[in-house]
Amino acid sequence: MRMLITGGTVVDTGPRVRVLPGADVLIEDGTITAVGPGLAGAAGDAEIVDAAGRIVSPGFVDTHRHVWQSVLRSVAADTTLGGYLDLVLGRLAPAFQPEDVRAANLWGALEALDAGITTVCDWSHIQTTPEHTDAALDGLRASGVRAVFGYAHPSPADDARREDEVRRVASLCSSGPVTAALAAWGPVYGSLEAAEADWRLARELGLRLSLHATGVGAVERLHEAGLLGPDVMFVHGNGFTDEAVKLVAGSGGTASVAPVVESQMGHGRPETGRFRAAGITTGLGVDTVTDAPGDLFSVMRAAFAAERLGGGSLGAAEVLRMATAEGAAALGLGDRVGSLRPGLRADVVLLDAGAVNLAPVHDPVGAVVTSAGAGNVDTVIVGGRIVKRAGRLTGVDVPAAREAALRAAERIAGPKKLGRRSRFSGSHLGGAWLVLFMIFNVIWT
């Protein structure tokens, strides 16, 4: 099956950012085969996608997101990290049933696609049972998004580790648009011993690792244990010492920065500039919609502003690369997605350049980073398949998905639920989250 995207202004990000006015993009069997002017003659009977008045970009890559929290949107808008851990993970997460997880993951993935995010790393710490895991995977697959499913054990406790489940998830995600990773608790929220076991398991299975880490200690402990490597992605990294940054860079490790959430929850100044200056491949992440928007346009602007406010020289082109090609590389997917380079999978976004917030477009790169929003996303293509056309998601019953999400939200976080403490708040998944957070701050900052 062939597709020709023609008549638009192509903005590619790999191996460098470049603008190609009037270029065509030829796709065959879900793979980009050519980018350049005058490809209509080689298109044959290809489906024609008219991109006139559109900016044609690689699909955006969200390197860190808790997709299951879509049904908890804005529930923690005013909280710091400690309050988020207590409310969202301590009080609300234990109430999720498998059907809620499925509805939430579908709704969250559709939100990502609607905003032009074609790849999302789902750091999934809602694995109460294997049925919850299956529901999360089903929601992702039903949406049509490309995803890295980061399996996190049911809790940070050593006895909660489920190696059999990690192996099962790796087997379930061995092919197709949803692949597997291991979302590790240790050595920050879990023990170093658990971290060592997780690293051995992930490397045995060929899975990449992702972990939350801020302040002093996490990188150093992993280095001392011989666990650093190019398969490890650090999420946040606020307050890393210069030595820790050098250790990550030297190991080939990568990073995901979530500047909106980090600024609002009090993690600290986003480390985008420090990481990239050290040579660390760095992507951008939404993190959680409990207190942040679910699109990467907002995240790009936050990264851009935070770095400039701190005296950095990060440019719009670099920010766009972080949201596309560099983000893909941070996830280990740089050979598959992230740019419009021939040979990569056809994950493509068309933005309406004639909209009131974009026209006139003097600099397409600057326009995408500083002015565009989810409302400008006209068409989204994942692996050569159109999942959004003319501003509307396709192939999914969106009203049914919305109703399922609303039902889950009302049952889990309706006014009566938020007005009192949950019966789970005293369990290892409840008030212990706040304790862990406080201990973490005392030790590492």
Please check whether residue 298 is in contact with residue 116, taking contact to mean a CB–CB distance below 8 angstroms. no
Measured at the CA of 216, the angle between CA 193 and CA 162, to 5 degrees, comes to 25
Q: pLDDT category, 148, cuts 50, 70, 90?
A: very high
**Among candidate residues 284, 354, 338, 341, the one with its CA nearest the CA of residue 55:** 354
Q: pLDDT category, 438, cuts 50, 70, 90?
A: very low
For 301-356, write each residue's pLDDT tens digit.
999 999 988 888 899 999 999 999 999 999 999 999 999 999 999 999 999 999 99
For 237-257, write each residue's pLDDT tens digit.
999 999 999 999 999 999 999
Indicate the residue type of 231: D
Quote the pTM value: 0.94
Q: What is the pLDDT of residue 311?
A: 84
Q: What is the pLDDT of residue 430?
A: 40
C-alpha–C-alpha distance, residues 351 and 362, integer Å: 15
pLDDT (mean) for 94-102? 98
Q: What is the pLDDT of residue 442?
A: 36
Q: What is the pLDDT of residue 418?
A: 67
For 108-119, write each residue's pLDDT tens digit.
999 999 999 999
**Among candidate residues 325, 351, 267, 261, the one with its CA nearest the CA of residue 299:** 261
Q: What is the pLDDT of residue 437?
A: 43
- Cis before 15? omega within 30: yes
**Among candidate residues 179, 190, 189, 174, the one with its CA nearest the CA of residue 151:** 179
Q: What is the pLDDT of residue 419?
A: 57
For the CA atoms of 84, 85, 86, 89, what is the dihedral angle to 10 degrees?
110
Look at residue 48 and tell me whether its pLDDT is greater than 90. Answer: yes
Look at residue 58 and tell me whether its pLDDT is greater than 70. Answer: yes
**Among candidate residues 258, 197, 216, the one with its CA nearest the CA of residue 233:** 258
Look at residue 189 and tell me whether its pLDDT is greater than 80. Answer: yes
pLDDT (mean) for 362-382? 98
pLDDT (mean) for 154-168? 97
Tokens 């851990």 — which residue?
85
Q: What is the pLDDT of residue 312?
A: 82
Q: What percent of the chain has pLDDT over 90?
A: 90
C-alpha–C-alpha distance, residues 145 and 30, integer Å: 14
Cα distances (Å, whole numbers) of residue 401 to 86, 96, 104, 412: 28, 17, 9, 17
Q: What is the pLDDT of residue 42?
A: 86
The domains found in the chain, sorted by start residue, are 2-58+339-393 (2.30.40.10), 60-330 (3.20.20.140)
